[in-house]
Structures are given as structure tokens and as C-alpha cells.
Amino acid sequence: MATTIRNSNLFCLNCGGEFPLKFPSPVGEMNKKMKAFDDLHKDCLKTWVEPTADMSKPIIERASWWYTKGERGMSSETMYNCFMNISQDRISHPHDPADFKRCWKLLEAIPEWKLQLHKLKSLSPAWSNLVDNWDKLTEMYLENVSTEWKNFEKIGMHTFMDKLTH
């Protein structure tokens, strides 16, 4: 299947089609929507290419682009809010490599924010540990990507993240 959930929408990784989801939703209803979306997109050709930020734009424009077009999760939104000085009711850190990927992609869109990672340390002990090990996590993530996640157990990123956050 080339369908997933991206930014609270059902999403086809082949054509880029999406369908908004409402949360909370009964499990049976959600399963029906997911099955219908899978059926609709089962034969899609690979035409979608993940968008990237226009690096010639100012930071504020790239930040806006990321928020509307980038792949977001709770931990990357925590980073965004911290760097944009937006008040936060909920603080979340990356719990696994998929969460880290979204945070990493935010920093790819706005590499200037890498110099501000230290600001995250005050959010929680988990964030402090993650920031202290960001280069190692990036190395592990890129190794996983380069091996198409075939050696993820050997690379041990998930286990390492667990140790840092618990």
C-alpha cells in the first residue's frame, strides 16, 4: 500500500491525493474510510514528489511553507512553536525514528534553526537528552535512510531514542 496518514489526512504517497480525517472518530468508521481510500488509490502511478522548501526564501516564509506543506507531527510542531516563540499547551518530543524524521525535515527546511536546538533543552529532560545527541541521531537516521531501513535493528536508533527519553 502506498497510503498513509500525513498531517491528519489520509495520503497517497503515489499521487499525492489526500482526504481529511476528523478526530476523534469511531474505529469502525475510520477503518471504512481508510479501506475506501486504499481502494481508490491502489493503482495510482508514482507521480507525487515530496515538496521541498525554496531555500532562497526568508526564514519566516520557509517556516510558513513547512507548516502548510511539510510533514508535521507533534514533536516537530513543538520545535516549530519553540523557535517561533509561540506559546505551547502541549510539549512533545520525538519518540521514534518516524518522529525524528519529521523534526529532521523541519531543520532541512530551516537549517538556521539548528543553531537554536539548545532552546529545546529547557522544554523537558527528554528534549535535553535528544538535543545533546542530535548529531548521533542524525547520523543514525541518515544511515537508516541510505540502507532503506533494512538494517534498522542493527543501527538501533529506536532503542537509542528510548534510552534518551525514558
Q: Give me the residue spans of the domains in the chain.
A: 3-41, 59-165
- The model's confidence at residue 110, banded by pLDDT at 50, 70 and 90, is very high
Specify whether the CB–CB gap between 106 and 113 falls below 8 A.
yes
Residue 128 CA to residue 118 CA, distance in Å, equals 8
Q: What is the pLDDT of residues 122-152, one digit of tens each?
A: 999 999 999 999 999 999 999 999 999 999 9
Q: Residue 1 has what pLDDT? A: 62
Residues 6+ apart with CB under 8 A from 153: none
